[in-house]
Amino acid sequence: MIALLALSAGHVPKYDGCDHNCCHFPHDAETSQVAYLKGSGGIEYDIHALEGKAHVDYNVVFRKPYDPSTYSLYAGCGGCASEMPFHWDEPLTLPLHQRETYHSPKLEAFTQHSYYEILPRPPKDDGSGDDRSPQFDTSALSNCSSHHFSVRLIAHDNATEDIVYGVVVGCEGLACEKFELHEYMSFPIYVIRNHGPAWNNATWTLVLIALAVPWLMGFVLWWWHGGWLAFHVPIGVAFPRQLASMQFPETHWAKLRGVCWTRSIRCVLYAVATYAIVVDLLETFAHFLIAARDVPAGEDGYQMFAWWYALKIGYLLCVALPWFWAREVPEKLWRESRWECTCGWFQGLGPYSPFWAQGFWSLLDLPIALSALVTGAGFYLYPVAATLAAVLRFVHWVRGERTPPPPCDREVFVERKVRFAQLDDTSCALPPLRF
């Protein structure tokens, strides 16, 4: 729920499907929406669609502080496209008054880009002193000779580059934020497009990060999880970590006597989900740094970004920890364990306790994975992989002992002369993490 509220603090974006660079929004003028454009263009509404509305909230935001003399802004009677030559209509209103300088840049926390405003922001009617978005009084359309209302930008001949901007319609705040389900699910596409040519023009970051993360994960798996053994789960009556720490010199987990390792599709899915969310985290942070170069410290977007980033870190933990516990706790131990409030690394609420490997956690895994689909975490790959892993975990849990033991891929038999010490963890000392 918190994630949905956070996401709703943005505008429904539109990137293409605009005739002659003139966009028609899919929602009415009371819903917050933004069209990302380059060069002369804008948005328009049929005038009859504005009947009963006293005003229209709007704004124009820019990728960078372009020279104000290279363009003009208009809002009011007249469309922004036609079937005339060059698909261009003469403005039917006077240009909007613009500030001499841009407002201080702001941070869009959810798609990680900075933007500039140049239109004056009048104070709110309630006398709070806070600025609100510009408003157009629809009564001025009573004598309009056109069938359209538009907010448009016209680039002048002295413009030396494409002006990248967004036309915003709808009031600010949560009251006008109305995302439909498919729009929530399209959020990864919005992010990729804003990081790319639609705004930041830095598509290379996603490509570079997507290629670098497998190498990073490979190193971590080799150093921490025993390489390919990260995609296996143990079968036995003791904790592999505990067994390894009891032997001198410490034995690699793949060579532990008495532990059978079998491949796990669920671990593979956890790995895929981890890869996707790590790519998302690094991509998000990279573009946050790009935007932060322009946005002054203390801007409200920073706090919102912190919450948004913390949410994605939470998604990472929701797949990395089950993956970790699947390798730490054999199935026999978590099925037969009874929770006790005791002190121990392998008991109670200890980090290696069978409590965390219990199958009933799948009842929490599934809604978390599905929520990632509507918050856009992990570029679709995360929610799909995490959902499949949660389903497999649930099915395995409810089948219980009816599930036949899988065949062993790696097995080392216990020699008769080898005696293992008692494995009742009564100490609170941290076991070694080396293999």
Which pLDDT tens digit goes with each residue over 173-203?
A: 655 666 677 777 888 888 999 999 989 999 9
Of 34 and 82, which is predicted with more confidence? Answer: 34
Confidence band for 10, pLDDT divided at 50, 70 and 90? low
Mean pLDDT of the chain: 83
Q: What are the φ/ψ torsions at residue 154 (nearest 5 degrees)?
A: -120, 115
pLDDT per residue as tens digits for the range 332-388: 889 888 877 877 888 888 888 899 999 999 999 999 999 998 888 999 999 999 999
pLDDT of 39 > 70? The answer is yes
The pLDDT, as a whole number, for residue 62 is 96
The reported pLDDT for the residue numbered 91 is 77
Asked if omega into 249 is within 30° of 0 (cis), the reply is yes
Q: Which of 33-42, 314-323, 326-335 has the highest mean pLDDT?
A: 314-323
Distances (CA, A) of 144 to 47, 140, 233, 358, 435: 9, 8, 72, 68, 78
Tell whether the model's pLDDT for residue 3 goes beyond 70: no
Q: Is the pLDDT of residue 57 over 80?
A: yes
- C-alpha to C-alpha distance for 321 and 357, rounded to whole angstroms: 9
pLDDT at 313 over 90: yes
> Which range is least confidently modeled, 274-288, 302-316, 386-400, 406-420?
406-420
The rounded distance, in Å, linking the Cα atoms of 125 and 293 is 34
pLDDT band at 1 (very low <50, low <70, confident <90, very high): very low
**Confidence class for position 316, pLDDT limits 50, 70, 90:** very high
Q: How far apart are CA 376 and CA 192, in angstroms?
A: 11
DSSP one-letter string for 248-290: SSPPPGGG-TT-EEEE-HHHHHHHHHHHHHHHHHHHHHHHHHH
Question: What would the pLDDT profile of 223-243 be if each residue is shown by its tens digit?
Answer: 776 778 889 888 888 888 888
Q: What is the pLDDT of residue 173?
A: 64
Mean pLDDT within 202-229: 88
User: Does residue 346 contact residue 425 with C-beta atoms inside 8 Å?
Assistant: yes
The upper half-sphere exposure of residue 342, i.e. CA atoms within 13 Å in the direction of its Cβ, equals 18
Mean pLDDT of all residues in 385-414? 78
What is d(CA 248, CA 348) in angstroms, rounded to the nearest whole number?
27
Q: Is the pLDDT of residue 295 over 50?
A: yes
Task: Look up the pTM and report it.
Answer: 0.85
CA distance 146 to 129: 36
Average pLDDT over residues 237-266: 80
Contact between 365 and 331 under an 8 Å Cβ cutoff? The reply is no
Reply yes or no on whether the pLDDT at 281 is more than 90: yes
What contacts 1, CB < 8 A, 6 or more positions away?
Answer: none
- 3-class DSSP state of 7: helix
Q: Residue 293: count other Cβ atoms within 10 Å of its Cβ.
A: 8
| Cα separation, 430 vs 341, whole angstroms | 18
On the question of pLDDT at 274 being above 70, the answer is yes
pLDDT of residue 422: 40
Which residue ranges make up each domain of the chain?
Answer: 2-201, 205-411
